[in-house]
Amino acid sequence: MRKFSGRRDTRLNPRAGRTAAVLALLVAASAARGADPAPPLAPKLEFAFAELVTLGPAIAPGKTPYGGRNIIPITGGTFEGPGIKGTIVPGGWDWQLVRADGCIDVHADYMLKTDDGVIINVVNDGVLCMPKPGQPPRPARTSPRFEAPLGKYEWLGQTAFVGTLEGAKGPNGEPAVRITFYKAV
């Protein structure tokens, strides 16, 4: 049995050594700026692309220890933005949890297929809260993550994004949502 030395064994995970080195450089750079460094500039948002995601009928398994569960199938759709365009691959899901406070946690996991045949995984999380009587509606915001293959679309996995979510109708009148993604710059 190996004795724990408090150090991470980078032989088992060579990335751990690189990650530690990058963190050490960031700490050193921060310390070199002085005791009271200026706060970093707030990120700005730039339009990345918009989706129209069509939805199937909700499946409601019922109450769970965590809240009321809804499962909504993602049946297709389209997306488009500067330098990216394609379709939503049918077969994804939006796993919703209705919380005790009435808000809904959303966790969607689905695939995009670009016009040039690249498959990109989207995992999009957010919280939807209905306004209280007399209050204006709150916009729904999401925190998407993208997993794209290396190459033309790898930029999707190299920055943070914010999404906006609103109800919509699909091209044949079916239920849908419109999601607009903005990348942090």
pLDDT of residue 13: 54
User: Are 174 and 54 spatial neighbours (Cβ–Cβ below 8 Å)?
Assistant: yes
In this structure, the answer to whether residues 56 and 36 fall within a common structural domain is no
Q: Residues near 183 by Cβ (< 8 Å), separated by ≥ 6?
A: 45, 46, 48, 159, 160, 161
How far apart (Å, rounded) are the C-alpha atoms in residues 141 and 138?
9
How far apart (Å, rounded) are the C-alpha atoms in residues 172 and 153?
30
Name the strand (E) or helix (H) holding 23.
Answer: helix 14-32
Neighbours of 10 (CB within 10 A): 14
Task: Read off the pLDDT of residues 29-74 as tens digits, 9 standing for 90 and up.
Answer: 666 666 566 788 899 999 999 999 999 999 999 899 989 999 999 9
Task: Read off the pLDDT of residues 125-167 as tens digits, 9 standing for 90 and up.
Answer: 999 998 888 988 877 999 999 999 999 999 999 999 999 999 9
112 burial via Cβ count (<10 Å: 0-12, 13-18, 19+): buried
In this structure, the answer to whether residues 103 and 158 fall within a common structural domain is yes
How far apart (Å, rounded) are the C-alpha atoms in residues 56 and 47?
28
Overall domain count for the chain: 2
Tell me, yes or no, whether 61 lies in a domain: yes
Q: What is the mean pLDDT of residues 79-88?
A: 98
In this structure, the answer to whether residues 58 and 142 fall within a common structural domain is yes
- pTM value is 0.78
Q: Residues near 166 by Cβ (< 8 Å), separated by ≥ 6?
A: 139, 140, 177, 178
Owning domain of residue 31: 7-40
The pair of structure tokens assigned to 176 is 């849908």
Number of H helices, E strands in the chain: 1, 9
How far apart (Å, rounded) are the C-alpha atoms in residues 180 and 158?
18
Q: What is the mean pLDDT of residues 108-131?
A: 96
In this structure, the answer to whether residues 33 and 110 fall within a common structural domain is no
For the chain, how many residues are written?
185
pLDDT of residue 4: 47
Tell me, yes or no, whether 1 lies in a domain: no
Domain at 158, CATH number: 2.40.160.20
